[in-house]
Structure 1
Amino acid sequence: MNRLLSVLIAIVCGIAAVTANDSRLVYILPLDDEIGSTTWQHTKRALDEADRISADIILVHLNTYGGSVLHADSIRTALLHCPVPVIAFVDNNAASAGALIALACDSVYMRGDATMGAVTVVNGSDGSAAPDKYQSYMRAMMRATAESHGKDSAGIWRRDPLIAEAMVDPRVVVPGLIDSTRVLTFTANEATEWGYADGIAENIGQVMESVGVTEFRIRKFEPTWIDSVMGFFTNPAIQGILIMLIIGGIYFELQTPGMGFPSVVAIMAAVLYFLPLYFTGIASSWLIIMFIIGLLLLLLELFVIPGFGVAGISGIVCIAASIIIGLVENFSFEPGHTDLSVICRATLTFVAAVAAAAGVIAFLSSRFAPKGFGIKSELTHCQDIDQGYIGVDTTPAKLVGRSAIAVTALRPGGKIEIDGTTYDAVSSIGFVESGTLLTVYKFENAQLYVR
């Protein structure tokens, strides 16, 4: 009986093991917020985790109205290069940047009431359409993403590139689908009809059934608070503010040397700028070292080496270069590894932050600093008498060689008079009677000497 029970248990365990081995591991990445630095950080970590656990399928659960083109492009590129099949499930919305991300997936499934499209680049301030050069770049990005799916055996595009362009530009005409007066947005049925969706599904189970997967296990990406914090501080707008604080802190610290409030602000801003980049793998440790070296060179030039020469210029270059390179993901000195346009964009961000910092500094200096705008260290400050400073009176030194009259007896010290003004003096010839005519022959240690 015991032997029979053992055999039955072994059979059940074997069947369970075979079933587990036959089931597919589906990794779910939810993108249900505005596309930005946080969603990009989540995507990178999710793809790394999916690779680590050997996921068979990655399902991007989309419900977004769009967001940053920069981060959407980064997500698009990562999905296009992903070695694991990627499925997009548009739960409700895949608007703007969300449509770009959906198009980058190997297959797309939409709920019956979902929509996808409207990829026109807009200004963040008022929502108006951005200039045509931005639209041109987005058209090319959408077209290239559609073309990446290739053609079928009949030589027809699986994802028509012209339709992708029509989602960006209202001037693009797709015969039978859209005229030249509006930007294209698909319903689920339209997307399926025109080849931009592979089917309609109401839940993840139906999506898996549509791709022929009946046995599957789900592993869902769970963001941590650290991911959110890192995403917040790697947001370009926040990075621009941190750069402003670094520059402003350094400037105001040069006004009043010493570890004061500006120093604390600059150091904290530098920490919040570089550490998230380091922990997310965007920047290497040598960038932080370069920034510190730049600060040391600048301080050396200002407080040790007279003038402003090689050390000061090298310090400024190191600080600027470390900040700019920190804005470039996976920077490399290898030719062709880093896109020049990304470096130019990072440089423009830095220049804009410097210009904004200069404006803030000029405003604060005009309001709160009477000496005005410019680097004016306290080490070069002139202590004028008009400002209340008191020093040793040097007027008696100018009396050497003048004639004087002893107004009191000098024993040998006493008082003399020159041009109606009385001074203390010491006789070098011993006792002198009051009223004696004398000559001032030296001024030493703040004392007049007569004979």
Structure 2
Amino acid sequence: MKTHPLPRIASTRQARPHARLRAWLARCIAALLALAACATAADSSQVGEVAVIPVVGAIGPASADFITRSLARAARDQAQLAVIELDTPGGLDTSMRQIIKAILASPVPVAAFIAPGGARAASAGTYIVYACHVAAMAPGTNLGAATPIQLGGPGIAPPEPKPASGLDKGPASAPATDTQSTETRKQIHDAAAYIRGLAQLRGRNADWAERAVREAVSLSANEALAQHVVDLTARDLPDLLTKLDGRTIETANGAHKLATAHARIVTFEPDWRSHVLAVVTDPNVALILLTIGMYGLFFEFANPGFVLPGVAGVICLLIGLFALQLLPISYTGLALIFLGIAFLIAEAFLPTFGTLGFGGIVAFAAGALMLIDTDQPGYGIPLSTIAAISAAGAVFVFFVSSFAYRARKRPVVSGGEALVGSIGEIIDAALAPVRNEAGNAVGNEPGNAGRDEAQGASIGWARVHGERWRVCAAAPIAAGARVRVTGRHGLTLDVVQAEDPQQRGVSS
């Protein structure tokens, strides 16, 4: 029995449309997957970037301004996370609180990351870490020692650590506050309450935070993670972002779910404003600017119309005062600095042969030593800077005093005093006193008491220094004789004959 191929041909023709349909569907699915991948990538780019804010060095007005403006920029750019990379020994309390206020009010989640290895977040840095929504540390880093450093200054007993065991009830276990002043206790309690409130807000270890303030304790990265002081540890920034991916964080404007695994990282670098503010608020620079400003004004007042010293002095003085307005200063120290500079300037106008100048140097050095009212690292004025500026003032006083001393020893070359000792020539002599309309001798005027007829005063005229002067002599002197001036009374000169050996020896 023969078979016919017609049915197979028909089945083959029927299978071709199904194959084309499957291929078309496969292409559509591939296109949809590609579109979904593009949409996912676009959506991930639109979710928001990660803003990195590096902070290295002491916390001060410059770093506070930089962090505050960077958080505002991250909010404008709709970043999904802001990471503050910390490496700080501490800083000023006012700047720290300004940063914490910006973090608490930030609509963008803020993570504090103590990195790289070897970095630390001591003192003010510990408060900032506690204030952030996420706290992380890299291996080999540490945080703590949050006791306000200025409390351990001269005359104030620093807080003593509590004993590890409560069994010791001897004098050594007495509270440290027994030896502290009321002001010190108030400041420590305020700092402890502040960091405890931040710890409770973020759900972290509040007891250890208070110990960091009262006992100045510190922790390494692993210890901080074990005691729930920080939320996690990470090797580097990419590792941190991977571990934060998918986490939901509550901020000032609601909950935010992070998608940081593949987010774009943007690092905010300090701009010119931050650099200028960092330089200006350096206590050394502020002190130098004040000194230059005062000396510039002095030279302008001493030489009116010179303009340049006055302009430079005013600018430096205003910038220096602006810097001091941002720094914790002692007004007693500032007053001593101004008093010292005033004494140095007065030495130039009222030469006291170094008395005012020496007092000014002592006042300036004492004021510079106590100018900055904190012992925070990076905010003290080195002794070398104070010594250099004081030495410059001492050189100024030395030159002014030496000039004044040499000028005092020079003979007078102008004014009425310069006439004493001068040589003149009698051009018109009178043998008897010349009387005026009142009947008094011409030489017997106020200041010429005693020169009357009884004394036999002789009045005449002489040429001295090319000028015609009325002269009075004890004895008549012939015209053409040379005379030496021995005194002056108003417009009348007392003279003696220059050829007289005895008088010449006296005058010489």
Where on the TM-score scale, by shorter chain, does this alignment land: which range?
0.5 to 0.7
Which residue does the alignment assign to 2:124? 97
Per the normalisation by structure 2, the TM-score is: 0.52
Q: How does 1:301-450 map to 2 (within 5 A)?
A: 323=321, 349-362=330-343, 370-371=351-352, 373=356, 388=412, 390-391=414-415, 399=443, 418-420=473-475
2:319 aligned to which of 240, 252, 272? 272
Q: Deviations over 1:200-242 (max 9, x none)?
A: 2222233223332334221111123552222110235533443
Identify if the C-alpha distance between structure 1 residues 118 and 220 changes in structure 2 by more than 3 Å, giving closer, same or farther.
same
1:159 aligned to which of 204, 228, 233? 204
Q: How does 1:188-227 map to 2 (within 5 A)?
A: 188-211=221-244, 212=246, 213=259, 214-227=261-274
Which residue does the alignment assign to 2:275? 228
In structure 2, distance between residues paired with 1:414 and 1:191: 98
Q: CA deviation at 1:17?
A: 2.4
Q: Deviations over 1:385-428 (max 9, x none)?
A: 987252258999972677757799xxxx999875337699xxxx
In structure 2, distance between residues paired with 1:328 and 1:415: 66
Which residue does the alignment assign to 2:377? none
Q: How does 1:3-42 map to 2 (within 5 A)?
A: 14=39, 16-21=41-46, 23-42=47-66
Structure 2 residue identity aligned to 1:112: P
Q: Secondary structure at the match of 1:192?
A: helix
Structure 1 contact 36–235 (Cα < 8 Å) conserved: no
Structure 2 residue identity aligned to 1:356: I
Q: How does 1:250-269 map to 2 (within 5 A)?
A: 250=297, 254=301, 259=306, 263=310, 266-269=313-316
Which residue does the alignment assign to 1:187? 220
Larger radius of gyration: 2
Q: CA deviation at 1:115?
A: 1.6
Structure 1 contact 28–60 (Cα < 8 Å) conserved: yes
1:239 aligned to which of 286, 291, 298? 286
Which residue does the alignment assign to 2:86? 62
- Residue-pair matches, total: 330
Which residue does the alignment assign to 1:108? 135
Structure 1 residue identity aligned to 2:268: F
Q: Identity of paired residues, percent?
A: 23
Which residue does the alignment assign to 2:98? 74
Structure 2 contact 280–286 (Cα < 8 Å) conserved: yes
Task: Please tell me whether residue 53 in structure 1 is matched to residue 77 in structure 2.
Answer: yes
Identify if the C-alpha distance between structure 1 residues 418 and 222 changes in structure 2 by more than 3 Å, giving closer, same or farther.
same
Identify if the C-alpha distance between structure 1 residues 169 and 404 changes in structure 2 by more than 3 Å, giving closer, same or farther.
same
Q: Deviations over 1:282-332 (max 9, x none)?
A: xxxxxxxxxxxxxxxxxxxxxxxxxxxxxxxxxxxxxxxxx48x7557xxx
Structure 2 residue identity aligned to 1:399: G
Structure 2 contact 50–79 (Cα < 8 Å) conserved: yes
Structure 2 residue identity aligned to 1:420: A
Q: CA deviation at 1:158?
A: 1.7
Per the normalisation by structure 1, the TM-score is: 0.57
Structure 1 residue identity aligned to 2:475: G
Q: CA deviation at 1:247?
A: 4.3
Which residue does the alignment assign to 1:339? none
Structure 1 contact 240–353 (Cα < 8 Å) conserved: no
In structure 1, distance between residues paired with 2:98 and 2:145: 19
Identify if the C-alpha distance between structure 1 residues 31 and 416 changes in structure 2 by more than 3 Å, giving closer, same or farther.
closer
Structure 2 residue identity aligned to 1:80: L
Which residue does the alignment assign to 2:190? 140
Q: CA deviation at 1:109?
A: 1.3
Identify if the C-alpha distance between structure 1 residues 124 and 248 changes in structure 2 by more than 3 Å, giving closer, same or farther.
farther
Identify if the C-alpha distance between structure 1 residues 104 and 369 changes in structure 2 by more than 3 Å, giving closer, same or farther.
farther
Identify if the C-alpha distance between structure 1 residues 398 and 115 changes in structure 2 by more than 3 Å, giving closer, same or farther.
farther
Identify if the C-alpha distance between structure 1 residues 47 and 350 changes in structure 2 by more than 3 Å, giving closer, same or farther.
farther
In structure 1, distance between residues paired with 2:337 and 2:129: 37
Q: Deviations over 1:340-387 (max 9, x none)?
A: xxxxx86x5444223123235436766996246499xxxxxxx99987
Q: CA deviation at 1:253?
A: 5.2
Identify if the C-alpha distance between structure 1 residues 82 and 420 changes in structure 2 by more than 3 Å, giving closer, same or farther.
farther
Structure 1 contact 79–86 (Cα < 8 Å) conserved: yes
Q: Secondary structure at the match of 2:224?
A: helix
Identify if the C-alpha distance between structure 1 residues 370 and 130 changes in structure 2 by more than 3 Å, giving closer, same or farther.
farther
In structure 2, distance between residues paired with 1:268 and 1:351: 23
1:168 aligned to which of 213, 225, 247? 213
* Unaligned 5+ runs, structure 2: 1-27, 159-179, 247-258, 361-406, 421-433, 435-440, 446-451, 463-467, 480-489, 494-508
Instruction: Please tell me the root mean square deviation across aligned C-alpha atoms, in Å.
Output: 4.9
Q: CA deviation at 1:27?
A: 0.8
Deviates more, 1:263-272 or 1:184-193: 263-272
Identify if the C-alpha distance between structure 1 residues 117 and 148 changes in structure 2 by more than 3 Å, giving closer, same or farther.
closer
Structure 2 residue identity aligned to 1:42: F
In structure 2, distance between residues paired with 1:84 and 1:162: 28
Which residue does the alignment assign to 1:121? 148
Which residue does the alignment assign to 1:342? none
In structure 1, distance between residues paired with 2:71 and 2:492: 80
Structure 2 contact 458–475 (Cα < 8 Å) conserved: no
Structure 1 residue identity aligned to 2:140: D
In structure 1, distance between residues paired with 2:198 and 2:461: 107
Q: CA deviation at 1:98?
A: 1.8
Q: CA deviation at 1:142?
A: 4.7
Identify if the C-alpha distance between structure 1 residues 357 and 405 changes in structure 2 by more than 3 Å, giving closer, same or farther.
closer
